[in-house]
Amino acid sequence: MINPQFSNLAKEHGLSPIYLKEIILLRAAGLDNTAIASRLGINRNTVNRYTGALRQMYENPKTREDFMRIYRLTFCEEEP
């Protein structure tokens, strides 16, 4: 089950909540983008787009808080 807050944040940035969560978890487990694409059965460029979107969120001061919320909600069901 995906947290509604996580789902809304992902959709606000044009990302599928299901893929986003899986990509974050698999990256945290040490898989590279090619391995993630293979595991999820999606194109490597899709994984590249998601990781690129996360990087852009982190690097932009206006969206950095969204990035931090996405990561908190990936590993915790609720925000503190």
What is the per-residue pLDDT across 26-51, written as a single tens digit (0 to 9) for each?
Answer: 999 999 999 999 999 999 999 999 99
Q: Band of the pLDDT at 75, cuts 50, 70, 90?
A: confident
User: Is position 80 within any domain?
Assistant: no
**Residue 42 belongs to a domain:** yes
State how far the Cα of 50 lies from the Cα of 22, in Å rounded to an integer: 11
Tokens 């899986």 identify what position?
22
Q: Which two tokens stand for residue 9?
A: 């944040």
pLDDT of residue 79: 58
- Give a yes or no: residue 34 inside a domain: yes
User: Are residues 17 and 2 in contact, defined by beta-carbon separation less than 8 angstroms?
Assistant: yes
Q: How far apart are CA 39 and CA 78, in angstroms?
A: 27
Q: In terms of residue numbers, what domain contains 25?
A: 4-75
10 pLDDT higher than 70:
yes
Q: Into how many domains does the chain fold?
A: 1
Measured at the alpha carbon of residue 7, what is the angle toward residues 5 and 13, in degrees to the nearest 5?
A: 105
